Amino acid sequence: MDSQTSTEQSQDRPESSDKQVFEIFIQPGFSDLELSAVTSVLRTANEVLNRDRFTWQITSDVPGLVNSSAELIARANPAIGDQYLKDCLIVIAGRNSSPQGWMVRLRAMQKVRRRVVLLSDAAREFVRASKDQEGRAAAHWRDVSLLREVGTFPMLSEQLVVDSGGVMTCAGHGHTLEAVIGILSETLGARECAEIASLLVLDNVRSFSQEQPKGTSYNPNFFEKRLQKALRLMETNIEQPLKLAGLAEEVGLSSRHLERLFMVYFETTPAKLYKKIRLKQAHKLVTDTHMALIEIAIACGFSSAASFSQAYKAEFGETPTQLRRKKR
């Protein structure tokens, strides 16, 4: 195929400036939740406007039939270097994907000052690739904690969305619906955006600057306040775990009362649940980073690599060394 000139690229945009074309770039293992959220908002916006103002094209660096993380299949057109750019590029990467497949398109979009949106996994990989650059970026809170364990990322934010240098990095996942409505609000009126949210049964569209809810303790609808506070203390004190007496004192209960609450609501003791929370964090570090196991053990509150390995095997059925050996 002949290379496309910049004039031809500009002609590739819709003839009417009112219409917008979105390129949704996916990679193997992409989030079907995020893809569905993006297309659902665009389709609903067209329904509200009673015309096809927003259209989209799904592309990939591995075109054809692309499997999601849930083994659903999407048909993708080829993404060719920096050619055939649309009005907005939305990247939905996979958990183990590489930014090399979409970084060229991102830079090309920046050059012509068009919107780029990176959701969850793509945002994480962008942060990794851009750690020495100025400007802020967001990522899913799970990835924020991982990134901070393996390096220094002064640009990293725990906001839902950060817009910097024409690149919008997002927490993604369930917030994707709200993020896309926020993007459309740049060209649509408040009444139209409110109607889109209503049709999608969203009672609130949070601002981009709002902090992400981090961990199970941040949803008030599942736990009573004292349990919520205890869980939050556990989730925020991974490296130096609190003793039961100290945890109970912070919550305002006796140790025995706190243990009874945990048995009623969780059918386990505070100590066992605390260890499970720490092991979940350790599992993410084992699978998603190259940190030494002793460093992971210390970061997750274990006194030695041996005690960590033993607890890890009891929880996941194999040692961290065995798991890493399988993934090579």
Same domain, 240 and 168: no
Q: DSSP code of 216?
A: G
Does the residue 209 lie in any domain? Answer: no
Asked whether residue 296 is assigned to any structural domain, the reply reads: yes
Q: What is the model's pLDDT at position 20? A: 96
| Claim to verify: residue 295 and residue 226 sit in the same structural domain | yes
Residues 174, 223 share a domain: no
Chain position carrying tokens 């053990």 = 297
Q: pLDDT at position 289, please?
A: 86
- pLDDT-above-70 percentage for the chain: 93
Q: CB within 8 A of 52, min separation 6: which ones? A: 19, 46
Q: Average pLDDT for residues 217-225, to the nearest whole number? A: 82
Average pLDDT of span 205-213: 92
Q: What is the mean pLDDT of the chain?
A: 90
Q: Is residue 305 part of a domain?
A: yes
CATH of the domain at 309: 1.10.10.60
What mean pLDDT comes out for the span 121-125?
A: 94
pLDDT at 1 over 70: no
Give me the count of residues in the chain.
Answer: 328
Pair (36, 124) in one structural domain: yes
Residues 79 and 187 in one domain: yes
pLDDT of residue 133: 65
Q: How confident is the model at residue 129 (pLDDT cuts 50, 70, 90)?
A: confident
Q: What is the DSSP letter of 223?
A: S
Structure tokens at 58: 């799904």
Total domains present in the chain: 2
**What dihedral do alpha carbons 296, 297, 298, 299 form, nearest 10°?**
40
Q: 0.75 cut: is pTM over it?
A: yes
303 and 166 within one domain = no
Tens of pLDDT, residues 64-73 = 999 999 999 9
Q: Residue 192 falls within a domain, yes or no? A: yes
End-to-end CA separation in angstroms for the chain: 37
The answer to whether residue 173 scores a pLDDT higher than 50 is yes
Residues with Cβ within 8 Å of residue 178, at least 6 apart in sequence: 160, 202, 205, 206
Q: What is the pLDDT of residues 144-163, one digit of tens each?
A: 888 888 877 878 889 999 99
Q: What is the rounded CA–CA span in Å between residue 33 and residue 29?
A: 12
pLDDT at 7: 34
134-139 contacts at long range (C-beta below 8 A, 24 or more positions apart): 135/164, 135/165, 136/162, 136/164, 137/162, 137/164, 137/167, 137/169, 138/162, 138/169, 138/170, 138/171, 139/169, 139/171
Phi, psi of 77 (to 5 degrees): -80, 160
pLDDT winner (highest mean) among 43-57, 200-214, 313-327: 43-57
The C-alpha atoms of residue 45 and residue 73 are separated, in whole angstroms, by 24
138-158: b or e for each residue (b if 16 or more CB lie within 10 Å)? bbbbbbbbbbebeeebebbbb
| Of 214 and 261, more confident | 261
How far is 69 from 75, CA to CA, in rounded Å?
15
Within this chain, do residues 170 and 292 fall inside the same structural domain, yes or no? no
Structural domain of 116: 6-199
pLDDT digits (tens, 9 = 90+) for 275-323: 999 999 999 899 888 899 999 999 999 999 999 999 999 999 999 999 9
- The residues, ordered by sequence, that sit 6+ positions from 146 with a Cβ below 8 Å of its Cβ are 284, 285, 288, 289
Structure tokens at 180: 């896309």
Is 254 a residue whose pLDDT tops 60?
Answer: yes
